[in-house]
Amino acid sequence: MARDEQLKERWDLVVTKLSKQFADGDELDLDAIIYLIGVQELGQFHRRFKKDHKLDLMHIAICRLLEPYGYYEFDFFDDDGWPHYKVKEQLPHLKSGEQSILMKEAIVNYFIEAEFID
């Protein structure tokens, strides 16, 4: 199977499983999945977040997702339990579609590592 086809199949599986679990079957988009990963990484599941914290959660997720690619490195947890990352390498300038593919690949790899999908 071609790499692109495999990524699409795995991405569709992640979207389907997460949508059933968190959105009553309504399809979650990329940003919603990134947000969920941020909540997972923070570990404060039963908390309501304000808009600025939602952006922080997405930042945490992006750092965590791109850490295996060498762009970020975990640095420390602050006193409130929020993880902080430092930039190891600047992200290359990517077109919108390229960014989307990179994030989908990183998300699929995250959920394979977590044994959420095969």
Phi-psi region for residue 81, left (φ > 0), alpha (ψ -120 to 50) or beta? left
Domain that holds residue 42: 29-113
pLDDT tens column, 53-63 = 999 999 999 99
**Distance from CA of residue 57 to its chain's centroid?**
10
pLDDT tens column, 56-108 = 999 999 999 999 999 999 999 999 999 999 999 999 899 989 999 999 999 99
Report the domain count for the chain.
1
47 occurs within a structural domain: yes
pTM of the model: 0.92
101 occurs within a structural domain: yes
24 occurs within a structural domain: no
45 occurs within a structural domain: yes
37 occurs within a structural domain: yes
60 occurs within a structural domain: yes
**Is the Cβ–Cβ distance between 22 and 36 less than 8 Å?**
yes
Q: How far apart are CA 24 and CA 82, in angstroms?
A: 28
19 occurs within a structural domain: no
